[in-house]
């Protein structure tokens, strides 16, 4: 029997049980370290097969994780942000469409939430709405959407419909830069609003199959959404009936006030990127400020922290692994999220501590797949279970229920 460290011994006293930790993984290519694909266990030749992704999803489900997210973008991966694809041949390049990938995982998994990334800038919200709704059908209520703004010029050149200037840090702080970015995020907020209205555009009991009158649907339970915004208008209703969850779970990654406001306007869950535990109260306060600023009503945002993790049985082994991967790539790993190279037990301790500082959960970005995913499901999860902070089995059916989100009330039915 492994020794249970005292820091995480469950507390059986009368005090309220500590809130359990929500936990997910972000899947991307061979993992978040650019040299991950060269590790012995990596399967770089399989990245574009469904078997590869199925194995990852099965492993995540084995670990009882709340959900997986799948990264995506409408451009080729690059080490530069704004200036388009690089010409590197030594890192993973190319990726499958995340929404389709998640759909392929729907019928073969049974409990885990599936959250693909889909951009709001070029993709039609009408398409997004029915795609995520259909994922919700194919997974029996386990779908979500990670909203992503596409602010990269080279992606706009793949569409040729609009000109997005090259965005770099300095320019982003100019007045013009702020305006352009603000518009992209306003458009994203409109896109989320459209998608959500379309999900509500059929009342759940609209299909009546009334042989008496010959009517298949009650057309009074279908609603035109009549959305008119600054960037586009959409009529509705959806062609797809209301999905099983009513409203699939909307998430967004955010690092700054404008993105926090976007999350506060339209999302259920926000991923933030504290570097240390001391950042947490401040970042949480910023999220709550954003909620007030946009007059968010209803359930407050769930707040999850992103951590890029690299695990080993010993601390020293973890540090050495990171050094080896960095050497293999030629540069030190950098990330918007904190990089944690440690043991599964120490990571579990850190999650317990950080969550007590004001977080609902974590999205872990495994540095290497499948190695670090396995370390999470077979090391970190059991440690959290021992601490009484993680479930022993899947209990709720839908992703919304599992995340503790209230039942989604249909805005149109409510008016009637």
Partner 1 sequence: MSTRKQIILGAHFPGVNNTTVWQDPDSGSQIEFKSFKHMAESAERGKFDFLFLAEGLRLREQRGKIHDLDVVGRPDTFAVLAALSSVTSNLGLIGTINATFNEPYEVARQFATLDHLSAGRAAWNVVTSSDAFTGANFRRGGYLDRELRYERARELVQTARELWDSWAPNAIAADKQTGRFLNEENAGAFAHTGDQFEIRGRFNVPRPPQGHPVILQAGDSAQGREFAAQTADAIFTRHGTLDEGIAFSRDVKARAVRNGRSADDLKVLPGVGFILGDTDADAEEINREVRLQQVSPQTAILLLEQVWNRDLSSYDADGPLPKVDPDVESISIIQGRARIVDGVLETAQRYRALAEAKNLSIRELIVEVTSRGLFVGSARTIADKLDEFVLAGASDGFILVPHIVPHGMDRFVDEVVPLLQERGALRAEYDSGSTLRENLGLTPATPATVWAERAGDLEAAAS
Q: Which of residues 156-215 bind partner 1 (CB under 8 A)?
A: 157-161, 202, 207, 209, 211, 214-215
Query: Pick from 222, 263, 307, 381: which binds partner 1 (CB under 8 A)?
Result: 222
Site size toward partner 1, by CB under 8 A = 82
| Cβ nearer to partner 1, comparing 137 with 394 | 137
Tell the residue number behind the tokens 């998994």, with chain if given.
109
With respect to partner 1, which residue has the nearer C-beta, 173 or 215? 215
Is residue 333 close enough to count as binding partner 1 by CB under 8 A? Answer: no
The b/e string for 382-404 (b: 16+ C-beta within 10 A; e otherwise) is: bbbbbbebbbeeeeeebbbebbe
- Interface region with partner 1, contact rule CB under 8 A, candidates 134-142, 259-267, 284-292, 351-359: 134-142
Q: Which is nearer to partner 1, 131 or 377 (CB)?
A: 131
Residue 109 C-beta: closest distance to partner 1, Å: 10
Residue 88 or 176 with smaller CB distance to partner 1: 88
- At residue 26's C-alpha, the angle toward residues 354 and 375, to 5°, is 70
Of the pair 16, 160, the CB lying nearest partner 1 is at: 160
The DSSP-derived string for 318-387 is HHHHHHHHHHHHTS----SSEEEEE-HHHHHHHHHHHHHTT-SEEEEEESSTTHHHHHIIIIIHHHHHHT
Of residues 63-92, which lie at the interface with partner 1 (CB under 8 A)? 73-77, 84-85, 87-92
Among 27, 149, 188, 234, binds partner 1 (CB under 8 A): 234
The rounded distance, in Å, linking the Cα atoms of 391 and 384 is 9
Please report whether residue 236 would count as binding partner 1 according to CB under 8 A.
yes
* Stretch in the footprint of partner 1 (CB under 8 A) among 135-143, 249-257, 302-310, 385-393: 135-143
d(CA 318, CA 33): 13
Stretch that binds partner 1, among 131-139, 356-364, 368-376, 405-413 (CB under 8 A): 131-139
- One symbol per residue from 103 to 122: x for binding partner 1 (CB under 8 A), - otherwise; what is it? xxxxxx-------------x
The answer to whether the Cα torsion of 195, 201, 204, 210 is positive or negative is negative
Other CB atoms within 10 A of residue 73 CB: 15
**Six-digit token string for 374:** 């396995």
Give whichever of 14 and 230 is closer to partner 1, judged by the CB atom.
230
- Single out the residue of 25, 70, 133, 348 in contact with partner 1 (rule: CB under 8 A): 133
Which of the residues 364 through 393 are near partner 1 (CB under 8 A)? none
Least CB distance to partner 1 at residue 410 (A): 15
Structure-block tokens of residue 397:
């059916």
Peptide bond connecting 370 to the previous residue in cis, omega within 30 degrees of 0: yes
Q: Which CB atom, from 235 or from 282, has the smaller least distance to partner 1?
A: 235
Q: Is 134 in the site for partner 1 (CB under 8 A)?
A: yes
List binders of partner 1 among 38-57 (CB under 8 A). 38-40, 42, 44-45, 47-50, 54
Is 180 exposed, middle or buried (CB count within 10 Å of its CB: 0-12, 13-18, 19+)?
Answer: middle
Contacting partner 1 within 271-330 (CB under 8 A): 328
- 218 CB-near residues (< 8 Å, 6+ apart): 205, 206, 208, 210
Query: Which residue do the tokens 């805005």 mark?
Result: 411
Nearer to partner 1, 39 or 360 (CB): 39
CB-based burial label for 363 (10 Å; 0-12, 13-18, 19+): buried
- Minimum Å gap between C-beta 41 and partner 1 is 11
Could you tell me the two tokens for 255? 């690092």
**Interface segment toward partner 1; rule CB under 8 A; list 97-105, 274-282, 369-377, 390-398:** 97-105
Name which of 202 and 412 has its Cβ closer to partner 1: 202
Q: How far apart are CA 201 and CA 238, in angstroms?
A: 6
Stretch that binds partner 1, among 136-144, 165-173, 337-345, 394-402 (CB under 8 A): 136-144
Which of 182, 354, 344 minimizes the C-alpha distance to 273? 354
Contacts of 394 (CB under 8 A, 6+ apart): 64, 111, 402
CB 215 → partner 1: shortest distance, Å? 5
Q: Residue 288: how many CA atoms within 13 Å on its side-chain side?
A: 8
Measured from the CB atom, the residue of 47 and 356 that comes closer to partner 1 is 47
Q: Using DSSP, state whether 258 is helix, strand or coil.
A: helix
């Amino acid at each position: 029997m492994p020794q249970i460290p005292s820091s995480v011994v469950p507390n059986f006293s009368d005090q309220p049980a500590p809130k359990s930790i929500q936990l997910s993984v972000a899947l991307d290519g061979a993992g978040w370290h650019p040299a991950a694909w060269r590790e012995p266990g990596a399967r770089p030749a399989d990245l574009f097969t469904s078997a590869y992704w199925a194995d990852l999803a099965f492993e995540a489900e084995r670990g009882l994780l709340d959900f997986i997210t799948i990264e995506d973008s409408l451009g080729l991966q690059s080490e530069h942000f704004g200036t388009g694809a690089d010409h590197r041949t030594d890192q993973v390049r190319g990726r499958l469409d995340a929404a389709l990938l998640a759909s392929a995982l729907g019928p073969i998994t049974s409990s885990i939430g599936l959250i693909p990334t889909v951009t709001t800038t070029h993709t039609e919200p009408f398409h997004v709405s029915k795609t995520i709704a259909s994922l919700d059908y194919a997974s029996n209520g386990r779908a979500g959407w990670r909203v992503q703004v596409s602010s990269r010029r080279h992606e706009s050149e793949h569409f040729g419909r609009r000109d997005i200037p090259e965005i770099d840090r300095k320019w982003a702080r100019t007045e013009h830069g702020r305006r352009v970015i603000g518009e992209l995020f306003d458009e994203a907020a409109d896109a989320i609003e459209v998608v959500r209205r379309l999900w509500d555009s059929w009342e759940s009991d609209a299909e009546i199959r009334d042989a008496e009158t010959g009517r298949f649907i009650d057309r009074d339970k279908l609603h035109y959404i009549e959305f008119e915004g600054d960037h586009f208008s959409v009529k509705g209703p959806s062609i797809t009936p209301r999905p099983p969850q009513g409203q699939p779970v909307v998430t967004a990654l955010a690092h700054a006030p404008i993105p926090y406001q976007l999350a506060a306007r339209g999302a259920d869950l926000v991923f933030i990127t504290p570097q240390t535990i001391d950042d947490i109260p401040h970042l949480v306060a910023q999220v709550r400020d954003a909620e007030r600023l946009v007059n968010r009503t209803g359930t407050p945002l769930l707040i999850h922290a992103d951590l890029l993790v690299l695990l080993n049985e010993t601390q020293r082994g973890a540090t050495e692994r990171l050094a080896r991967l960095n050497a293999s790539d030629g540069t030190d790993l950098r990330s918007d999220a904190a990089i944690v190279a440690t043991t599964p037990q120490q990571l579990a301790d850190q999650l317990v501590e950080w969550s007590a500082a004001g977080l609902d959960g974590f999205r872990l970005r495994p540095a290497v797949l499948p190695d670090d995913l396995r370390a999470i499901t077979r090391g970190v999860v059991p440690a959290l279970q021992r601490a009484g902070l993680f479930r022993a089995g899947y209990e709720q059916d839908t992703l919304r229920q599992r995340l503790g989100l209230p039942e989604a009330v249909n805005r149109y039915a409510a008016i009637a």
